[in-house]
Chain A
Amino acid sequence: MKVIEAKIVVLGSQGVGKTSLVVRYIGKMFSKHISPTIGASFFTCNISVEDSRVKLQVWDTAGQERFRSMAPMYYRNANAALLVFDISSAASFAAIKGWVKELQSNVPEPMVVSVVGNKCDLAECRAVPRAEAAQYAASIGAQYAETSALHDQGIDQVFLSTATSLLKMSTSNGAIRSYDSADGDSDRVPTGSPTEETATHTGKVELPAWSIDSVAHGELQKSMCC
């Protein structure tokens, strides 16, 4: 059986119900005997898709605006992102767009993105039309789902579809860590981390010192002769 391990980060503005979503899902996991680790902010769960298993590590993030700048630490090396907004809050939907841009610029690896409109039970005060959200999701290549953490609607589907996409992605490019092919790690680990930049920098410093300068000197002398 193929097992893939994926990190999924939950992003969104404060108060859109990220935590409720996660807690609701964890609660179900409990009843289904899938072991979550401690706390609602981080947990792992196994989702069986077809004949494979997806081990999801769900990282919840703090939604407060003042912690916004810390987000890159969370979504670094994430394989999937749940972008949660409140359908009754247009601002939260706008924030999603900001998140998408940030992810696109900061995360080089392919990433499964799901746009989730939460609080669909508040349909009467809906501020974000479903069609608009779906269209936007499609435009960025993301899935779209509407959920209600309060009524526990659609949450399963969100995670399941994410897992399915992750599985598809892992078979296509192997960027996700899988027990069958550990090669993905070596490709992924150095990328996107500050270490790469500094490494290239120092490399440049060293190379001229040893080779390029001397070579250049030689050429100069030749040219002088001519």
Chain B
Amino acid sequence: MSFASKMPSLRIDQSDLKCKNGCDYFGNPQWQGYCSKCHREQMMRQRRAEKASTNPSATLPKPEQKKPERGLKLSSHSSFSKFEEKRLRQSETLKKANLLKFSVFKKSSSDDHDHTPEKRPPEFKIPAMVFEGMKHDFRARFPALAPQVDRDARVFVHSFIMDVIKCANVMTVDELSERVQRQYQRFMKHMDTSPHFGNVDSDTKELLLDFVEKHAMTYLHELPSVVFSPSGTDDERLDRAMSERIQQLSWVGERHLECKLDRNSAACRQLLYKAISELLGMDSAMSPGGKLARVRRCCRHVLALCGAPASADDLLPALIFTVLKANPPRLVSNINFVTRFCNAQRLMTGEGGYYFTNLCCAVSFIENLTAESLNMDKKEFDCYMAMPASIGGSAWAAALSLCGCAREAEEQLAAAQALLREARDVQAQAQAVHDNAATFEEQIVKKVQDVLSKTPLEIKPRRELPQFGKFKSSAKPLIDLEPSVVPKETNPEPSDQALAQTGTSVQQPLIDYKDPPIDHKETEAEQPRIDSRVPIALPAPPLTTKDQKEQQILTVDTSSTEPEKLNILGFEVIDRPSPKSPQNLDQNWDLKQTSSLELLTPSLLGFTPFDSRSIDELMTPDEFVSDHLAPGLSNINYDIDLSDFSGDNSLAEDAPKAKDPFSPDGIKKFDPFAPQPSTFAETLEKFNEFSLVDAKTNRPYDPFEIVHRNTDPFSAGLAVTLPQQTTDPFSPQQKEGTSILDDNNSPTAACLLPSPLLPQSSGKPA
């Protein structure tokens, strides 16, 4: 249906587009269907006719005249550029909208070019959009009401609109107005009597009435010349006259109206600006209620402008002044629209009604403004009225445009401040991130330090020394090694001294040491055969080595730090050689002796570097190889591991953890060890004890393995931290000397070798 009715209306025949005069140019609905040339001619004729008629206030509406005249008005000069622009834009858009519909109606109405908008298709249909909007609005505003109420409201709006449109053709505006008022009352009565509205209180009923009015009138407002400046009235002409009148009165200032306005006060200007904005917005509001709301807001601004408590004596002049400065578009049409079609009950009472009445008063005052009403001389008044409209009121116009600029500036300022705030936030966040990073770094450092400090014990010295000695010794007759230890002790010292003397000689020892690792491997190869035996054999040498170390340390401490460094160097050397190619066993032996000595010393000396690297070393045996300092110790372990693996299993990776094999052995010997530490400590403190240790060499296995044992327990808890622990213990050792050694002994039970060994041991035992 809608298609059938609409399609033809939208299709425009070629002939319809032609000028009505019949010239071959195209016409334009904006020019009443004339082409531009004919339209201008028509206009000239009309204007001449208008001038001829001496009575300009003739109430006969001239529909053909309306459009062009309004165009003229729009182009009229204005001193109030900003508001003028806004106003023009508003009326321009509205006009366009009206014209669009106008043309549609025209085409659809009939073939003859009758422009009376009353003629509309009988099968006129209200677009469903209206009711969709109503439904949404209803749900938003009256969520508590029953859907039946919503339906009633929609039905009413539909009948209301149809009724108005039907009546608009045959009724005058005032009849129509009355009819509309009757409709409102009908709806009120319906609400009072209908069971659907039984539980709706009177306030809500009024809101519902407003709601109905709003939607019905909003739609009707969009229809041209039905309810808003309807045909048959001279609303539009009055609009134009009013606009011109206001422009002519632009010179009227606050002093003429005796209202207390301070042009120099920014707050005052702001309020006036707001009031004017609201007043201008009245034209864009579609429903009477909306227009009333605008007026209400405007008047509240005006009241604020007057200062509190503002009385009617202040309000009315200020409002007049506001209207004069605003020159709202289509003012008369708007006022008439509200007067005619707003719910009379509300218009006559209530705040909105009061302010609207004031506005009407203001308009009426402006219309009838005379010299007396401004309390000024008639001549002066005439002079003012005679002067071009563009001259007057420049001060206030400037003030208001200033206000507009100030407002814009304020907005810009606010935006700038917002940006600044954002920038600050970003900066703060960046700073926070930065601080976070710093604290994180600190925390990491602290944690590392904590871990370092937490990890006590001097694992490495024990491991290295005993293991090394053990391995080397184990490589060949274990028993022989023990005796050899004695010579080692003697030999290594000189060698160390020699190293110390020649700092560069470090490399040489390295090379030498490289050889020994090879030996270790060989020994490892031998060890695997022995397997379980090896560990047993090993312990003996470690003891000896420890003794040696102790002796050396003592000597070192007493003598000087230099030898210690040398020893450290020696350790490094030892580390590197281990991975490298094997060499003669005999050389290894010699090297071992030196290495053992060195190992003892290094533990004391190179603590700090040792620690850091030791951690890495712990990770993998390979690293040990690469490392410079720690390697000596690690190498020892490593070598052992390899030997074990080669002997026990073909497992390549596990091999490094050859310590594991030790650990099992250690476990067996563990028990004895635990008691030993105390004895060890005692012995360590005293050099003589070394001899005792030697005497214990029979037990040496135990201490050695005990160390491993220690590693095992560590493995459970300290696996990661072990390296650090090992390093830490060393540092104290260096400082304290013999006492350190004692510490080493005590910690050995817990912390010593384990770090590297732990994981391995744990893995293998499991």
Binding site for B on A (CB under 8 A): 5, 7, 14, 18-19, 22-23, 26, 37-42, 44, 57, 59-64, 66-67, 69-70, 73-74, 76-77, 177, 179, 182, 185-186, 189-190, 193-195, 198-199, 202
Decide if B312 touches A189 in the complex (CB within 8 Å). Answer: no
- Chain A min CB distance to B509 (Å): 100
List of B residues within 8 angstroms of A39 by Cβ:
300, 303, 308-310, 315
- Chain A min CB distance to B197 (Å): 13
Query: A23-B311, A63-B313, A70-B316 known; 11 other A-B pairs, CB under 8 Å?
Result: A18-B313, A19-B312, A67-B365, A69-B364, A73-B360, A73-B361, A77-B348, A179-B202, A189-B345, A198-B175, A202-B172
- Residue of A with least CB distance to B258: A64
Decide if B311 touches A185 in the complex (CB within 8 Å). Answer: no
List of B residues within 8 angstroms of A62 by Cβ:
312-313, 315-317, 361
Contact of A41 among B315, B348, B360, B375 (CB under 8 A): B315
Contact of B351 among A42, A64, A74, A185 (CB under 8 A): A42
Most A CB within 10 A of own CB, among B300, B340, B358: B358
List of B residues within 8 angstroms of A14 by Cβ:
313
- Indicate if B185 sits at the interface (CB-CB under 8 A): yes
List of B residues within 8 angstroms of A57 by Cβ:
349-350, 354
Decide if B311 touches A195 in the complex (CB within 8 Å). Answer: no
Decide if A74 touches B185 in the complex (CB within 8 Å). Answer: no
Interchain CA distance A77-B349 in the complex, whole Å: 8
- Indicate if B468 sits at the interface (CB-CB under 8 A): no
List of B residues within 8 angstroms of A67 by Cβ:
316, 361, 365
Interchain CA distance A203-B364 in the complex, whole Å: 28
14 contacts between A and B (CB under 8 A): A19-B311, A22-B311, A23-B309, A40-B309, A41-B354, A66-B372, A69-B364, A70-B365, A73-B357, A177-B345, A186-B185, A189-B348, A190-B181, A199-B178
- Indicate if B24 sits at the interface (CB-CB under 8 A): no
List of B residues within 8 angstroms of A61 by Cβ:
312
List of A residues within 8 angstroms of B671 by Cβ:
none
- Indicate if B177 sits at the interface (CB-CB under 8 A): yes
Interchain CA distance A67-B314 in the complex, whole Å: 12
- Residue of A with least CB distance to B189: A182
Interchain CA distance A60-B306 in the complex, whole Å: 15
Binding site for A on B (CB under 8 A): 172, 174-175, 177-178, 181, 185, 188-189, 192, 202, 258, 300, 303, 308-317, 340, 344-345, 348-351, 354-355, 357-358, 360-361, 364-365, 368, 372-375
Decide if B361 touches A41 in the complex (CB within 8 Å). Answer: no
- Residue of B with least CB distance to A179: B202
Lowest 9 CB-CB distances: which A-B pairs, in order?
A19-B311, A40-B309, A70-B361, A60-B312, A41-B312, A62-B316, A77-B348, A198-B174, A42-B354
Decide if B185 touches A70 in the complex (CB within 8 Å). Answer: no
Decide if B175 touches A40 in the complex (CB within 8 Å). Answer: no
Decide if B349 touches A5 in the complex (CB within 8 Å). Answer: yes
Decide if A7 touches B177 in the complex (CB within 8 Å). Answer: no
List of A residues within 8 angstroms of B364 by Cβ:
69-70, 73
List of A residues within 8 angstroms of B300 by Cβ:
38-39
- Residue of B with least CB distance to A7: B349
List of A residues within 8 angstroms of B317 by Cβ:
62, 64
Decide if A42 touches B309 in the complex (CB within 8 Å). Answer: no
List of A residues within 8 angstroms of B189 by Cβ:
182
* Chain B interface, >50% SS class: helix
Given A66-B373, A74-B357, A179-B202, A41 contacting B310 (CB threshold 8 A)? yes
Interchain CA distance A174-B368 in the complex, whole Å: 37
List of B residues within 8 angstroms of A76 by Cβ:
348
List of B residues within 8 angstroms of A7 by Cβ:
348-349
- Chain B min CB distance to A2 (Å): 12
List of B residues within 8 angstroms of A190 by Cβ:
178, 181
List of B residues within 8 angstroms of A59 by Cβ:
312, 354, 357
List of A residues within 8 angstroms of B358 by Cβ:
41
Interchain CA distance A124-B409 in the complex, whole Å: 58
Decide if B351 touches A19 in the complex (CB within 8 Å). Answer: no
- Residue of B with least CB distance to A75: B357
Given A70-B361, A202-B175, A42 contacting B355 (CB threshold 8 A)? yes
List of A residues within 8 angstroms of B360 by Cβ:
73
Decide if A41 touches B303 in the complex (CB within 8 Å). Answer: yes
- Chain A min CB distance to B346 (Å): 11
Decide if A69 touches B368 in the complex (CB within 8 Å). Answer: yes
List of B residues within 8 angstroms of A69 by Cβ:
364, 368
- Chain A min CB distance to B360 (Å): 5
- Residue of B with least CB distance to A206: B170
List of A residues within 8 angstroms of B315 by Cβ:
39, 41, 62
List of A residues within 8 angstroms of B316 by Cβ:
62, 64, 67, 70
Interchain CA distance A39-B178 in the complex, whole Å: 32
Interchain CA distance A22-B313 in the complex, whole Å: 12
Interchain CA distance A74-B354 in the complex, whole Å: 8
Interchain CA distance A59-B345 in the complex, whole Å: 15
Interchain CA distance A185-B361 in the complex, whole Å: 24
- Chain B min CB distance to A110 (Å): 16
Contact of A195 among B178, B361, B374 (CB under 8 A): B178
List of A residues within 8 angstroms of B175 by Cβ:
198-199, 202
- Chain B min CB distance to A82 (Å): 13
Interchain CA distance A177-B308 in the complex, whole Å: 31
- Chain A min CB distance to B283 (Å): 21
- Chain A min CB distance to B200 (Å): 13
Contact of A18 among B311, B348, B361 (CB under 8 A): B311
- Residue of B with least CB distance to A186: B185
Decide if A202 touches B303 in the complex (CB within 8 Å). Answer: no
- Chain A min CB distance to B205 (Å): 10
Interchain CA distance A186-B317 in the complex, whole Å: 34
- Residue of B with least CB distance to A41: B312
Interchain CA distance A76-B360 in the complex, whole Å: 13
Most B CB within 10 A of own CB, among A57, A63, A66, A194: A66
Interchain CA distance A59-B316 in the complex, whole Å: 13
- Chain B min CB distance to A92 (Å): 14
Decide if A195 touches B177 in the complex (CB within 8 Å). Answer: yes
- Chain A min CB distance to B496 (Å): 102
List of B residues within 8 angstroms of A202 by Cβ:
172, 174-175
- Chain B min CB distance to A147 (Å): 17
Contact of A189 among B181, B303, B354, B375 (CB under 8 A): B181
List of A residues within 8 angstroms of B357 by Cβ:
59, 73-74
List of A residues within 8 angstroms of B177 by Cβ:
195
List of A residues within 8 angstroms of B361 by Cβ:
62, 67, 70, 73-74
List of B residues within 8 angstroms of A74 by Cβ:
357, 361
List of B residues within 8 angstroms of A18 by Cβ:
311-313
- Residue of A with least CB distance to B181: A189
- Residue of B with least CB distance to A203: B175
- Chain A min CB distance to B89 (Å): 31
List of B residues within 8 angstroms of A77 by Cβ:
348-349
- Residue of B with least CB distance to A3: B202
Interchain CA distance A168-B357 in the complex, whole Å: 28
Interchain CA distance A67-B316 in the complex, whole Å: 9
- Chain A min CB distance to B405 (Å): 29
Interchain CA distance A125-B450 in the complex, whole Å: 98
Interchain CA distance A19-B314 in the complex, whole Å: 10
Interchain CA distance A59-B365 in the complex, whole Å: 19
Given A77-B348, A198-B172, A64 contacting B202 (CB threshold 8 A)? no
List of A residues within 8 angstroms of B178 by Cβ:
190, 195, 199
List of A residues within 8 angstroms of B348 by Cβ:
7, 76-77, 189
Contact of B313 among A19, A179, A195 (CB under 8 A): A19
Decide if B313 touches A38 in the complex (CB within 8 Å). Answer: no
- Chain B min CB distance to A133 (Å): 23
- Residue of A with least CB distance to B186: A186
- Chain A min CB distance to B61 (Å): 15
Decide if A41 touches B311 in the complex (CB within 8 Å). Answer: yes
- Residue of B with least CB distance to A194: B174
